[in-house]
Structure 1
Amino acid sequence: MKKILVLVDFSASSVNAVAYAASLAGDKGFEEIILMSNCFVPLFEQIVPSPDLIQVGAEDIRTRMEHLMQQLVEMKTEIEKQLPATIPVRIAVGTQPLLRSVLDQAESEAPALVVIGSSRTVGDDCSIGRQVIPLAKVIPVPVLVIPPQARYHPLKTVLVAGTAEPGDSLRPLFGELENIPYTPTKKDILAEVLQAAEDRKVEMIVALPRKHSFFYNLTHQNITQAIVLNAVEPVLILK
């Protein structure tokens, strides 16, 4: 089954990412959407009182979980209004540290795509969006990062930041695309990619994996993060 896993923390960025994922699913033949949030309480918080002498107990954790589930159910209900009945929406809550929870969910559900809303403002409430790069490194499937201002437009043209044909990777996700321009390697990679995306009015930037990518194995995190944080188009990180 062709699934989209959307990571949700109820910030404006993640709410926008959910709306984008719903439009993408309806347009590109995805068969299910999973909305995932996380409710991890470190052991330290449970055994050591805060400066205000507040100690997190079992009842507090249960209350947090119930509130989170209620929020997810409400979001699920809203998203279902935008989708055909043939695309079900499920919810999931992780209880481990975020990266571990997401990795477990990705491995158990085997989604075709993971969608994350990116954070652009220091001090905002997008706890998941601030961990885009660490998440992209551990998630074993393609990751689509949605900027806060991005809205879904039918995919016709994508910009490939790399040097190889990505069709075999893109086709299972989006089908055939009309136009896939490439951007060659130069010194100022960031400026080149962003300018090419603007000039060609693409709907998405694609970062290729392995030796064909400017972001080989995501080890050059400063470049990857710069693209994610500066692009106004969604960025798809292939694996």
Structure 2
Amino acid sequence: MPFIIAATDFSSVADNAVKYACDLALAQNADVTILHTYSVPLTLGDMTVPLPASEFWEEAEVTIDKLIADLRHQYPQIAFRKAVIYGNVIDAIYEFVGDNEPPMSVVVGNSYSQENPSWMDSTLLEAFRSLKYPILAIPPDTKYEQVRKIGFVYDNELGGSEHALQQLAQLTLTLGAELHIHNNQPEPEEGDMSVEINNGARGLLMPANPLYHYTYGEDVDSSILDFVAKYHLDWLIVMPRRHSFFENLFHKSHTKAIVNTSYIPIMALHETDV
């Protein structure tokens, strides 16, 4: 059965993301795994000593069991599983999945805002860059609504993006959404022609019947903001590749674009070799 992983630290932001994941699971006919990670403080006064991990595990087990009991009451159609794993969330996701079928997506809370800029240095940022599964960040207080319009910011480099483009087409079809592809290019020199999305990418995206949009000579921030606003997107999807300007998209110099799109969920898809 397809499944979604909803990561939680039991905060209000995470609780909201978990409920979003459940509503998304209903739309995608998927199960939900609630995943929590914990760590054990090792410093006690001036001494560094190991403290019993069992206490932290037991507390997490009690909390996650209560959360799942509440969710089963609210979402009786969904089959829930749980995972309480020691360590950081990225390693825990890989440990949980192992060699089994990968999740449809990993849903996490996105607490980033102008008032809370620490998100840029968090595990979520690293997951956006490197987690090989689709990861969807949900802003605080954002409730699930039918996803009608998905926007994908594409750099027109096919190499390494084939699997992500197939995932994007399938996701669009599953959700019954409209897919908009945005490509920002340098201003063409006089006499030069603008560059169309390459045929390989078009072929992979063809099942989703996307609409293509081009901008010329704009900075990354402006083009993303305009794209989201102009087409009233419900989700923004990016592919933060290595060795491209998408790796810099989440740099602090581009926080304006992230902050101002933080009212909609943002999904990261990844290169084949991540």
User: Which TM-score tier does this pair reach, normalised by the shorter chain?
Assistant: 0.7 to 0.9
Contact 1:116 1:145 in 2 (8 A): yes
CA contact (8 A) 2:240 2:249 kept: no
CA drift at 1:72 = 0.7
Q: Secondary structure at the match of 1:205?
A: strand
For 2:231, the equivalent position in structure 1 comes to: 200
- 1:157-190 residue CA offsets vs partner (Å, 9 max, x unmatched): 1111115697621344451634212223143212
Contact 1:26 1:84 in 2 (8 A): no
Partner-residue secondary structure (3-state), 1:10: coil
Which residue number corresponds to residue 21 of structure 1? 21
Task: Give 3-state SS (helix, strand or coil) of 1:182's partner.
Answer: strand
| Contact residue 204 and residue 235 of structure 1 kept, 8 A | yes
Measure, in 2, the Cα distance between the counterparts of 1:203 and 1:137: 22
Structure 1 equivalent of residue 182 of structure 2? 183
Superposition pairs for residues 110-125 of structure 1, below 5 Å? 110-120=102-112
Contact (CA 8 Å) 2:8, 2:14: kept in 1 or not? yes
Partner of 1:144: 136
Identity among equivalent pairs (%): 20
- The one-letter amino acid of 1:24's match is L
Asked if 1:96 is matched to 2:87, the reply is yes
**Is the CA contact (8 Å cut-off) linking 2:37 and 2:89 kept in structure 1?**
yes
Question: Which residue pairs with 1:12 in the alignment?
Answer: 12
Q: What SS does the aligned partner of 1:180 have?
A: strand
Q: Against the structure 1 CA distance between its residues 103 and 157, is the aligned structure 2 distance closer, same or farther, given a 3 Å change threshold?
A: same
Answer whether contact 1:156 1:179 (CA < 8 A) is retained. Answer: yes
Q: Distance in 2 between matches of 1:167 and 1:140?
A: 14
Equivalent position of 1:222 in the other structure: 251
Residues 5-53 of structure 1: CA distance to partner in whole angstroms, max 9, x if unpaired? 11100111111100100000001221x10101112225xx1xx5225x7
Matched with 1:170 is 168
2: distance between equivalents of 1:113 and 1:224?
Answer: 28
Q: Quick check: 2:150–2:177 contact (8 Å CA) kept in 1?
A: no
Task: Report whether the alignment pairs 1:62 with 2:54.
Answer: yes
Q: Secondary structure at the match of 1:94?
A: strand
Q: Which has the higher strand share?
A: 2
Cα deviation 1:188-219 (Å, max 9, x = unaligned) = 212321232123221100113659x852xx46
SS at match of 1:160: strand
Higher helix proportion: 1
Question: Which whole-Å CA distance do the structure 1 matches of 2:181 and 2:265 have between them?
Answer: 16
Q: Is the 8 A contact 1:118 1:130 kept in 2?
A: no
Aligned residues: 225
Q: Which runs of 5+ in 2 are unaligned?
A: 157-161, 185-216
TM-score (norm 1): 0.79
Gapped runs of 5+ residues in structure 1? none
Following the alignment from structure 2 to structure 1, what is the Cα–Cα distance between the partners of residues 254 and 106?
17
- Decide which structure has the larger Cα Rg and report it: 2
